[in-house]
Chains A and B, each alone.
Chain A
Amino acid sequence: MRAILMSVFSFFAAATLSVTNSLAGEVEVLHWWTSGGEAAAVQELQKMLQKEGHMWTDFAVAGGGGSAAMTTLKSRAVGGNPPTAAQVKGPQIQDWAELGVLTNLDEVAKAEGWDDTVPKVVADIMKYQDGWVAVPVNVHRINWMWLNKAVFDKAGLAYPKTWDDFFAAMETLKKAGVTPIAWGGQNWQEATVWETVVAGVGGNDFYKKALVEADMEALKSDTMVQCFEVMRKMKQYTDPNAPGRDWNLATSMVIKGEAAVQFMGDWAKGEFTAAGKKPGEDYDAMPAPGTEDSFLFNVDSFIMFDVKDKDAKAAQAAMARLILSPEFQVVFNVNKGSIPVRSGIEEQPFDSIAVSSMGDFAATAESGGLMPSMAHEMAVSPAIRGAMFDVVTNFYNSDMSAADAASKLAAAVGEAM
């Protein structure tokens, strides 16, 4: 009976069965850049690969900042047919590499000199046991503060550089009847602000201890309590309707002048541009208070699954090489609003904010201020990140004290290890 049933199923699907057989030099690429500028950026890669004679099969899955794509990837891997390449970031690269299913990319890396052009902090994330297993694509800076120029001018305020100045300015703005901080009340946005505060209040070394190494002492230290207090203080400068708000709606509050500042990564720039606003005239972006010497980075990357097929292997190598080629780095990052992950790229095609970001990227790579973002899955394992998210969002949305938050944070992280 079951056999009959099965044949009925395959009868209905006979037309599509043949499609899955792989063609020569084909790469099936799982990614979550599905629309707008991001998709336009990916299309460039597809075109370049096709020019070299390789086939690109698109496997786009958006949602939850890549979490839907990761679920799909796992089910594909368990089913025994992983895609040829997949967008995977941060510590998860190590997880996949440990299973021994990834293609080693050292050959391409050596030929292209990746070790010389990609900063070591970033390269380390891409390597498993000293061998390249992932290709970085782009860099987003997280610790930006976006400001509406007119709102500050009208209130006669200078842009704040320290937390004291910041809160003084917020107080003035609140009295002037503006919503000082445009807040998006979703856990990842709250975590984004929180990690920016941790870097800004605690400094670079503290950030690394607490959010990269997940050091227990740092997590429950007084400095951490201070960071939570700053978060708590921010809340009184947000509006009551913030919970659940999308980041782009928060950005639009700044664009319209309903709010003065927003803390968000550099993708917020796209919203300003789409609304026809100009940096320096209508709005400005600067590192959040206390983080001029910090660069919290979010780097997207691709891993390649080990394939037997020779042509597919060649396509993988070509894809890896193309991703870090100067030509693609420019066209991709201009489209996506991020900056190149490698050095030696012309500044000319980029806008002023990207250019300043590129300068800081190189400088902080030297100084040690270049640090992986916890909120954007670059620093700690997903389990620890999740534990941190829960504590931060619960703290922010309840009346928990800062001291309790710090000790809960340490406990939750300890449990997740």
Chain B
Amino acid sequence: MSEAKRFNPLDYLERTLPKLVIAPSFMAMMVFIYGFILWTVYISMSKSTFLPNYDFVGLIQYVKLWRIERWYVACKNLLIYGGLFISVCIALGLLLAIFLDQKIRLEGVLRSVYLYPLSLSFVVTGTAWRWMLNPGLGLEKLVRDLGWESFKFDWLVNSEMAIYTVVIAAVWQSTGFVMAMFLAGLRGFDSSIIKAAQVDGASLPRIYWKIIIPSMRPVFFGAVIILTHIAIKSFDLVVVLTRGGPGYSTDLPATFMYAYAFTRGRLALGAASATMMFMMVMAIIIPYLYSELRSRSND
């Protein structure tokens, strides 16, 4: 290699350009995400009550947190709700995307119908769902009025089942977006491969199962990340649909955190719950992220 080439400023720029381009995002991330996470962790070990206070007191809030019954309910709910929400959204989203990709008439209209729930603020949509799910007002009453007298659908008012109604409404809101992600992926898929496979005599379902769906791995990855994100942050949904009730049976960590940090003036405990929640999610997501990013760089 010649000396001249190494000092070529244009070449140097070309090589560092990718890093330069990433730099602002990197700095923003370090300040606005990791800086704030550190701040939260510190606050969780401070004396903070209704506003931040920086006197250090140690891990007492964590001890208190794990003594609060409601926190266990919130964590358990997140597992049920998050698990169901993510898997149902992905299954439905993929199904709808594949079906829509079959040269369907009115595809544009159907696509918009599946997508529109995302556009509505849950502040009001939640009210519509609450009416529909309420046994005395909605679905149960409707079916009974139609003549099926013994029909029962009272999950909303049942402490054991109420969390599943949250799943129903959440799936309704987010499935369309997952469908759009899969649709974008399917539309990016090289259709000549499908034709080639069909020439080889493979049936369509088999082609989807063996070739197309496995090739959607980055989309699955994206969907899991984004749905996990939605699940963790689900807040409005619970507030409007069930208000955490009956009792606090549909409380989620996000609503728990908000109640303690802001409504109840226990910022340190709220920060502790946020930190715990973050750690729990890390424990689930990091292995997944690691295996995904690793296996793909090996491809």
Contact = CB atoms under 8 A, between A and B. Distances in A.
The answer to whether any beta carbons of A and B sit under 8 Å apart in the complex is yes
A78 B52 contact: yes
A78 B52 CA distance: 8
Given A240-B157, A243-B156, A397-B159, A382 B50 contact: yes
Interface in A368-384: 381-383
Contacts of A99: 51
Contacts of B68: 415
Interface stretch (B90-98, B104-112, B257-265, B278-286): B257-265
A187 to B, nearest CB: 7
Contacts of A385: 264
Nearest to A253: B136
Interface in A205-240: 239-240
A243 B245 CA distance: 7
B263 A397 contact: no
Contact of B262 (A4, A74, A186, A396): A74
B70 interface: yes
B50 A386 contact: no
Contacts of A2: 24, 27-28
B51 A74 contact: yes
A150 interface: no
A186 B243 contact: yes
Interface string B228-245: 000000000001011111
B249 interface: yes
A390 B52 CA distance: 24
Contacts of B239: 64
A393 B159 CA distance: 12
Contacts of B185: none
A365 to B, nearest CB: 29
A78 B51 contact: yes
Contact of A5 (B24, B154, B162): B24
B136 A239 contact: yes
Nearest to A95: B50
A67 interface: yes
Given A5-B24, A386-B259, A397 B51 contact: no
Given A186-B245, A397-B249, A67 B24 contact: no
Contacts of B24: 1-2, 4-5
A394 B71 CA distance: 13
In this complex, the interface size class of chain A, counting residues with CB under 8 Å from chain B, is 35 or more
A398 B263 contact: no
A77 B51 contact: yes
Contacts of B135: 240-241
B124 interface: no
Given A382-B264, A398-B247, A241 B51 contact: no
Interface string B202-218: 00000000000000000
B265 A1 contact: no
B148 to A, nearest CB: 18
A73 B23 CA distance: 34
A352 interface: no
Given A2-B24, A240-B157, A382-B265, A185 B51 contact: no
A99 B248 CA distance: 33
A99 B50 CA distance: 11
A307 interface: no
Nearest to B267: A74
A274 to B, nearest CB: 18
A187 B248 contact: yes
A172 interface: no
Contacts of A244: 130, 134, 156-157, 241-243, 245-246
Contact of A415 (B49, B64, B243, B263): B64
B157 A243 contact: yes
Contact of B247 (A70, A382, A394): A394
A345 interface: no
Contacts of A4: 24
Given A1-B23, A77-B51, A415-B67, A243 B264 contact: no
A386 B263 contact: yes
Contacts of B47: none
A396 B134 contact: no
Given A244-B134, A415-B67, A187 B244 contact: yes
A374 to B, nearest CB: 14
Interface in B16-75: 20, 23-24, 27-28, 49-52, 64, 67-70
A74 B50 contact: yes
Nearest to B123: A63
A386 B258 CA distance: 12
A385 B68 CA distance: 15
Contacts of A185: 157, 245-246
Contact of B248 (A92, A239, A381, A394): A394
A253 to B, nearest CB: 10
A244 B165 CA distance: 13
A242 interface: yes
A2 B27 CA distance: 8
Interface in A381-408: 381-383, 385-386, 390, 393-394, 396-398
B263 A64 contact: yes
Given A1-B27, A397-B159, A187 B245 contact: yes
Given A187-B245, A244-B245, A393-B248, A386 B159 contact: no
A381 B157 contact: no
Given A1-B27, A381-B265, A415-B64, 16 more contacts: A5-B24, A67-B262, A70-B262, A71-B263, A185-B246, A187-B244, A240-B135, A241-B135, A241-B136, A241-B157, A244-B130, A244-B241, A244-B246, A383-B264, A394-B69, A415-B68
4 interchain residue pairs of minimum CB distance: A397-B247, A386-B264, A241-B136, A243-B246
26 contacts: A2-B27, A5-B24, A64-B239, A67-B263, A77-B51, A92-B265, A186-B243, A187-B244, A187-B245, A187-B248, A241-B134, A241-B136, A241-B157, A243-B156, A243-B157, A243-B242, A244-B130, A244-B134, A244-B156, A244-B241, A245-B134, A385-B264, A386-B264, A394-B247, A394-B248, A416-B266
Interface of A: 1-2, 4-5, 64, 67, 70-71, 74, 77-78, 92, 95, 99, 185-187, 239-245, 381-383, 385-386, 390, 393-394, 396-398, 415-416
